[in-house]
Amino acid sequence: MTNDPIRVLAVDDSRTVRRMIELTLERAGIHATVAEDGIDGLDRLGAMDAPPDVVITDINMPRLDGFGFIERVRGGDRHADVPILVLTTEDAPDLKRRARAAGAKGWIVKPFDPPRLVGALRAVAGR
């Protein structure tokens, strides 16, 4: 087990949600990099020195939605094994199945409970 902070990439088109995620994770000692949509998320992911421990993504976003983002991350070599959690206002079972089929490990409905989000991130990061 490492003492390094957990590194998270959070992808969401809402500036407010990105800021809430940043503040929540910062308070928990988790390092967050944020992106505004799937395209920006792929760019930031590619620019990271080390892979994040966990990726969080929204589903409904412009340019590249969460499903496309997950599929592109899973389709590459470098980040194919990074756990991905979906954080969205959606809760339909068919969307959850689609996200899992694309490669997501979990689903959290907004608005999120900060301790629950941090707990989920620590669980999937193994810390």
Q: What is the pLDDT of residues 78-89, one digit of tens each?
A: 899 999 999 999
Helix axes 93-102, 66-75, angle to 10 degrees: 20
Average pLDDT in the 65-70 region?
Answer: 97
The gap from C-alpha 116 to its chain's centroid, in whole angstroms, comes to 14
pTM: 0.94
The pLDDT, as a whole number, for residue 61 is 97
Any domain includes 77: yes
With respect to residue 58, please indicate whether it lies within any of the assigned structural domains: yes
Q: Is residue 125 part of a domain?
A: no
Confidence at residue 15, expressed as pLDDT on a 0 to 100 scale: 97
Interatomic CA distance for residues 49 and 26, integer angstroms = 20
33: in domain: yes
**2 belongs to a structural domain:** no
Alpha-carbon span 27 to 65, nearest angstrom = 28
- Whole-number average pLDDT of the chain: 95
pLDDT tens column, 20-60: 999 999 999 999 999 999 999 999 999 999 999 999 999 99
- Please check whether residue 31 lies inside any domain of the structure: yes
What is the arithmetic mean of pLDDT over 100-121?
Answer: 95
Name the residue type at position 28. A
Radius of gyration of the chain measured on its C-alpha atoms = 13
Which residue spans within the chain are E strands per DSSP? 7-11, 31-35, 54-57, 84-88, 106-109
Overall domain count for the chain: 1
Structure confidence at residue 77 (pLDDT):
86
CB 94 within 8 A of CB 61: no
The CATH number covering residue 100 comes to 3.40.50.2300
Does pLDDT of 76 surpass 90? no
Full residue range of the structural domain in which residue 24 is found: 11-111
Asked whether residue 97 is assigned to any structural domain, the reply reads: yes
In sequence order, the β-bridge partners of residue 33 are: 9
Q: How far is CA 15 from the centre of its chain?
A: 15
Beta strand spans in 59-113 (E): 84-88, 106-109
Percent of the chain with pLDDT over 70: 98
Predicted local distance difference test score (pLDDT) of residue 3: 75
In a domain, 98, yes or no: yes
